[in-house]
């Protein structure tokens, strides 16, 4: 066993033997500090050997957290600078206390304080905690806004919201004048929305330097990099409360991380003293499997051999109300990476880290998304281990060798902007009612390549030959029209067979034609002899209609020759999701727009020399356009010629 700095023990262990017998437990426990955010598991989740459920008491106001000792320093920095970066270690209290500090110091007199969170469950949980600490009803002085739910009022002065909601608010109020302070919390997660907000904040502080304060907070963010991005803004470092965490590494990488996590959890339950266990899985499917198997294993343990257990899932789509640990019972919380930083689970002493996370990846060459299980970064691994040292010394069991941690894990997670499509971001920026905004020169913390931005602008030329996007200006009118349409539909037939009569409906045909114009950059053409498709445009990809589609074939089972799709996704094979049949006559005029593109007008600024070369796909676009007009007889002749060549080679053999 080797000892590393910071009183952290590191040892390799084998899953087939007692992995922690060599370690001596601490003889004494340090007093527990309250956490930034307390979360309690949903009471409706079934567990193994569930004791009588006990009501969760209302949390008392927390003791003084480390960030409170730096209140004067924080306020002085905010008073003197439009932007302040706060690097707060785990347990410092930055998520719950910063907004309260600024509220006490009078910053809510000129406007509300907005605190963004990358996840909905975190926004709800933190807002409830702050409301309890201030002793006010949720939705009054303290509230939250997430998708499909708004718990705020005219009296709300501290508002927790997701970064996506703040972006939507900026569309109607680009300068966000309703806020005097904007806090971008958990910025180290580097979501696409957070990166856009960082660029937007950099622009807003120039326009509202006198009455807008921006704070960027994180536990692991590169403060110097952000400070340089905001022209040398100050960086404050707030210490946290962390107890020593022993880290155990497996001797090799297990082939099945679910089974390995399961065996480790059972060993902890049978041999370790009381303390909750946090198990990191990649997604909801893995969590469901783990919860089911763990409950079964615990039920099969010999009666009286260990304390009772409560097995509980935790992921972004679950309600944030959680259940406290009943007496003489151990909780097993099976969670996604939402428990790394966004949420703090009270009472965790043991952490099991599978070493993987599920990420959505975008392939720009194919224009397709995929949901991949990838290795975590070293920053994520350290955050996961830190969950075990919040209230007392803990242990972290890493299901991978130390060599993988040191040599294969990336230092930090790849920002989402570098693994996502920029289509939505470009549309958002073009919809902003801000003067002189140039998409190609918009400030990103980690700018995507100019070529990718040009390609997105090129594809959006289908929507309008001159580039302006006017849809958001008409959103209220569209909403009223949709309400009228829904009311008419509600009065009509609800029979599923009624959709067959829509094929010849003039309005239905007009709707499909409108969709064809809007989704002209997402068009696919069917193969001649089967129902496979290839996409049309500057990217060509062989795809199929998703099995869940209700698209109908003709009397021979053939799908329409042309369809538009909402998105491409790769699972077992490349699929198109949410497709709609369109006619060839509608396709030709749309593709002709490619000949009249003006990147200068699309980007909102002057196009630099060589922009057309950067695209590098004009020939392919023109080729794709010509392919649409190829006569079927020419295609048949090529197929016949290929068939004859094959038969000739076979005859020689």
Q: What is the tens place of the pLDDT at every residue in 99-123?
A: 999 999 999 998 999 999 988 888 9
What is residue 521's predicted lDDT score, i.e. its pLDDT? Answer: 78
- Residues with Cβ within 8 Å of 504's Cβ and at least 6 positions away in sequence, in order, are none
**C-alpha to C-alpha distance for 254 and 405, rounded to whole angstroms:** 14
Q: Phi/psi of residue 6, each to 5°?
A: 70, 25
In this predicted structure, the answer to whether residue 1 has a pLDDT above a threshold of 90 is: no
Indicate if 218 and 304 belong to the same structural domain.
Answer: no
Indicate if 252 and 383 belong to the same structural domain.
Answer: yes
- Looking at every residue in the chain, the average pLDDT score rounds to 77
Instruction: Give the residue from 414, 447, 480 where a domain finishes.
Output: 414
Q: Look at residue 531 and tell me if it is in a domain.
A: no
By CB neighbour count within 10 A (0-12 exposed, 13-18 middle, 19+ buried), where does 465 fall? middle
Indicate if 234 and 250 belong to the same structural domain.
Answer: no
Instruction: Show the domain range for 227.
Output: 66-238
- Summarize pLDDT for 118-164 with one digit per residue, the tens: 888 889 989 999 999 999 999 999 999 998 889 999 999 999 999 99
- 264 — pLDDT class (breaks 50, 70, 90): very high
H or E element, residue 525:
strand 523-526
- Residues with Cβ within 8 Å of 357's Cβ and at least 6 positions away in sequence, in order, are 282, 336, 337, 373, 374, 375, 376, 380
Indicate if 207 and 248 belong to the same structural domain.
Answer: no
Rg (CA), the chain: 28
- 39 — pLDDT class (breaks 50, 70, 90): very low
**C-alpha to C-alpha distance for 366 and 332, rounded to whole angstroms:** 41
Q: Encoding tokens for residue 311?
A: 């097995």
Strands 356-363 and 368-375: antiparallel
Q: Is 498 left (phi over 0), alpha (psi -120 to 50) or beta?
A: alpha
Q: Phi/psi of residue 641, each to 5°?
A: -60, -40
Indicate if 321 and 206 belong to the same structural domain.
Answer: no
Indicate if 402 and 298 belong to the same structural domain.
Answer: yes
Indicate if 252 and 204 belong to the same structural domain.
Answer: no
Q: Look at residue 560 and tell me if it is in a domain.
A: no
Q: Look at residue 16 and tell me if it is in a domain.
A: yes
Q: Which residue has the higher pLDDT, 263 or 641?
A: 263
**C-alpha to C-alpha distance for 180 and 182, rounded to whole angstroms:** 7
Average pLDDT over residues 590-616: 57
What is residue 206's predicted lDDT score, i.e. its pLDDT? Answer: 84
Give the residue among 464, 281, 424, 343 at the shortest CA–CA distance from 37.
Answer: 343
Average pLDDT over residues 188-208: 87
Q: Which of 47-51, 56-60, 199-203 has the lowest mean pLDDT?
A: 47-51
- Summarize pLDDT for 317-332 with one digit per residue, the tens: 655 555 566 778 899 9
**C-alpha to C-alpha distance for 481 and 45, rounded to whole angstroms:** 42
In this structure, are residues 40 and 47 in contact, taking their beta carbons and an 8 Å threshold? Answer: no
pTM for the model: 0.66
Of 27-31, 88-92, 186-190, 466-470, give the range with the top mean pLDDT: 186-190
CATH for 115: 3.40.50.300
**C-alpha to C-alpha distance for 286 and 260, rounded to whole angstroms:** 13
**C-alpha to C-alpha distance for 355 and 41, rounded to whole angstroms:** 24
**C-alpha to C-alpha distance for 559 and 542, rounded to whole angstroms:** 15
Q: Which of 200-214, 242-256, 542-556, 594-608 has the lowest mean pLDDT?
A: 594-608
In this predicted structure, the answer to whether residue 378 has a pLDDT above a threshold of 80 is: yes
Q: Look at residue 398 and tell me if it is in a domain.
A: yes
What is residue 48's predicted lDDT score, i.e. its pLDDT? Answer: 39
In this predicted structure, the answer to whether residue 612 has a pLDDT above a threshold of 80 is: no
- Residues with Cβ within 8 Å of 262's Cβ and at least 6 positions away in sequence, in order, are 290, 293, 294, 297
- 547 — pLDDT class (breaks 50, 70, 90): confident
Other beta carbons within 10 angstroms of residue 634's beta carbon come to: 9
Domain count, the chain: 2
By CB neighbour count within 10 A (0-12 exposed, 13-18 middle, 19+ buried), where does 330 fall? buried
- 6 — pLDDT class (breaks 50, 70, 90): very low
Indicate if 323 and 337 belong to the same structural domain.
Answer: yes
What is residue 536's predicted lDDT score, i.e. its pLDDT? Answer: 80
Q: Which residue has the higher pLDDT, 312 or 455?
A: 312
Q: Which of 251-260, 339-348, 453-462 has the lowest mean pLDDT?
A: 453-462
- 599 — pLDDT class (breaks 50, 70, 90): low
In this structure, are residues 9 and 3 in contact, taking their beta carbons and an 8 Å threshold? Answer: yes
- 174 — pLDDT class (breaks 50, 70, 90): confident
Q: Look at residue 222 and tell me if it is in a domain.
A: yes
What is residue 496's predicted lDDT score, i.e. its pLDDT? Answer: 45
What is residue 188's predicted lDDT score, i.e. its pLDDT? Answer: 83
Chain length of the chain:
653
What is residue 572's predicted lDDT score, i.e. its pLDDT? Answer: 77
Other beta carbons within 10 angstroms of residue 414's beta carbon come to: 14
- Residues with Cβ within 8 Å of 121's Cβ and at least 6 positions away in sequence, in order, are 316, 317, 318, 319, 320, 338, 342, 343
- 63 — pLDDT class (breaks 50, 70, 90): low
Average pLDDT over residues 426-447: 75
Q: Look at residue 166 and tell me if it is in a domain.
A: yes
H or E element, residue 13:
strand 8-13
What is residue 23's predicted lDDT score, i.e. its pLDDT? Answer: 34
Q: Which of 331-335, 405-409, 492-496, 507-511 has the lowest mean pLDDT?
A: 492-496
Strands (E), 70-191: 83-88, 112-117, 142-146, 149-151, 158-162, 179-184
Q: Encoding tokens for residue 37?
A: 């955010």
- Helices (DSSP H) in 502-566: which residue ranges? 506-518
Q: Is 105 left (phi over 0), alpha (psi -120 to 50) or beta?
A: alpha
Q: Which residue has the higher pLDDT, 121 or 304?
A: 121
Q: Which residue has the higher pLDDT, 461 or 84?
A: 84
What is residue 470's predicted lDDT score, i.e. its pLDDT? Answer: 53
DSSP 526: E
Indicate if 200 and 146 belong to the same structural domain.
Answer: yes
Average pLDDT over residues 301-306: 74
Q: Which of 54-63, 82-91, 525-534 has the lowest mean pLDDT?
A: 54-63
In Å, what is the CA distance from 103 to each residue of 72, 122, 159, 209? 13, 20, 11, 20
The SS3 of residue 89 is coil
Q: Encoding tokens for residue 453?
A: 């931005």
Percentage, residues of the chain above pLDDT 70: 69
Instruction: Give the residue from 238, 259, 278 where a domain finishes.
Output: 238
H or E element, residue 202:
helix 192-207
Q: Encoding tokens for residue 163?
A: 């970064």
Strands 2-4 and 523-526: unpaired
Q: Look at residue 440 and tell me if it is in a domain.
A: no
The SS3 of residue 107 is helix
Indicate if 333 and 379 belong to the same structural domain.
Answer: yes
Cα torsion at 336, 342, 347, 353 (round to 10°)? 40
Q: Phi/psi of residue 57, each to 5°?
A: -70, 155
What is residue 141's predicted lDDT score, i.e. its pLDDT? Answer: 94
Q: Which residue has the higher pLDDT, 363 or 36?
A: 363
Q: Look at residue 499 and tell me if it is in a domain.
A: no
Instruction: Give the residue from 371, 389, 414 where a domain finishes.
Output: 414
Indicate if 212 and 341 belong to the same structural domain.
Answer: no
Average pLDDT over residues 495-511: 67
**C-alpha to C-alpha distance for 235 and 77, rounded to whole angstroms:** 9
Indicate if 166 and 210 belong to the same structural domain.
Answer: yes
Average pLDDT over residues 357-378: 83
DSSP 573: S
DSSP 345: B
């Amino acid at each position: 066993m080797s000892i590393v700095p910071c009183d952290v023990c590191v040892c390799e262990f084998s899953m087939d033997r007692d992995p922690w017998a060599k370690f001596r437990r601490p003889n004494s426990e340090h007093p527990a500090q309250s956490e930034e955010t307390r979360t309690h598991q949903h009471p409706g989740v079934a567990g193994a050997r569930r004791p009588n459920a006990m009501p969760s008491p209302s949390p008392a106001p927390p003791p003084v957290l480390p960030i409170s000792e730096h209140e004067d320093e924080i306020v002085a920095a905010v008073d003197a600078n439009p932007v302040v970066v706060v690097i707060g270690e785990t347990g410092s209290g930055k998520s719950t206390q910063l907004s309260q500090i600024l509220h006490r110091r009078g910053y809510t007199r000129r406007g509300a304080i907005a605190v963004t969170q990358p996840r909905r469950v975190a926004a709800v949980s933190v807002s409830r905690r702050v409301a309890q600490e201030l002793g006010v009803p949720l939705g009054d002085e303290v509230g939250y806004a997430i998708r499909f739910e708004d718990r705020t009022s005219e009296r709300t002065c501290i508002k927790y919201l997701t970064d996506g909601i703040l972006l939507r608010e900026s569309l109607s109020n680009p300068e966000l004048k309703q806020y005097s302070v904007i806090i971008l919390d958990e910025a180290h997660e580097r979501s696409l929305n957070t990166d856009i907000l960082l660029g937007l904040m950099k622009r807003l502080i120039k326009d509202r330097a006198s009455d807008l304060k921006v704070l960027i907070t994180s536990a692991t963010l590169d403060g110097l990099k952000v400070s340089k991005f905001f022209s040398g803004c100050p960086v404050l470092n707030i210490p946290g409360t962390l107890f020593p965490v022993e880290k155990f590494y497996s001797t090799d990488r297990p082939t099945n991380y679910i089974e390995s996590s399961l065996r480790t959890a059972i060993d902890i339950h049978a041999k370790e003293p009381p303390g909750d266990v946090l198990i990191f899985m990649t997604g909801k499917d893995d969590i469901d499997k783990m919860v089911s198997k763990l409950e079964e294993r615990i039920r099969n343990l010999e009666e009286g051999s260990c304390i009772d257990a409560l097995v509980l899932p935790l992921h972004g789509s679950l309600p944030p109300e959680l259940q406290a640990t009943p007496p003489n019972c151990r909780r097993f919380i099976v969670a996604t990476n939402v428990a790394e930083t966004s949420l703090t689970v009270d009472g965790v002493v043991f952490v099991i880290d599978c070493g993987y996370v599920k990420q959505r990846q975008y392939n720009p060459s194919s224009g397709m998304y995929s949901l991949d299980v990838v290795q975590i970064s070293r920053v994520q691994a350290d955050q996961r281990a830190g969950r075990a040292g919040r209230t007392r010394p803990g242990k972290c069991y890493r299901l991978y060798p130390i060599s993988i941690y040191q040599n294969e894990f990336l230092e930090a997670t790849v920002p989402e902007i570098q693994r996502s499509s920029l289509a939505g971001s470009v549309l958002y920026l073009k919809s902003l009612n801000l003067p002189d905004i140039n998409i190609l020169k918009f400030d990103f913390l980690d700018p995507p390549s100019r070529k990718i931005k040009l390609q997105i602008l090129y594809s959006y030329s289908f929507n309008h030959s001159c580039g302006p996007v006017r849809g958001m200006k008409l959103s209220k009118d569209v909403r009223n029209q949709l309400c009228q349409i829904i009311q008419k539909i509600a009065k009509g037939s609800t029979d599923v067979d009624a959709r067959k009569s829509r094929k010849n409906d003039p309005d239905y045909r007009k709707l499909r034609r409108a969709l064809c114009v809007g989704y002209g950059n997402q068009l696919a053409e069917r193969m001649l002899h089967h129902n496979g498709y290839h996409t049309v445009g500057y990217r060509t990809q062989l795809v199929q209609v998703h099995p869940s589609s209700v698209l109908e074939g003709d009397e021979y089972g053939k799908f329409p020759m042309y369809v538009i799709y909402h998105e491409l996704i790769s699972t077992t094979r490349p699929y198109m999701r949410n497709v709609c049949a369109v006619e060839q006559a509608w396709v030709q005029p749309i593709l002709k727009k490619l000949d009249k593109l003006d990147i200068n007008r699309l980007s909102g600024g002057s196009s630099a020399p060589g922009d057309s070369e950067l695209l590098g796909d004009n020939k392919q676009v023109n080729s794709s356009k010509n392919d649409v007009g190829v006569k079927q007889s020419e295609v048949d002749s090529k197929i016949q010629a290929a068939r004859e060549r094959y038969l000739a080679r076979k005859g020689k053999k």
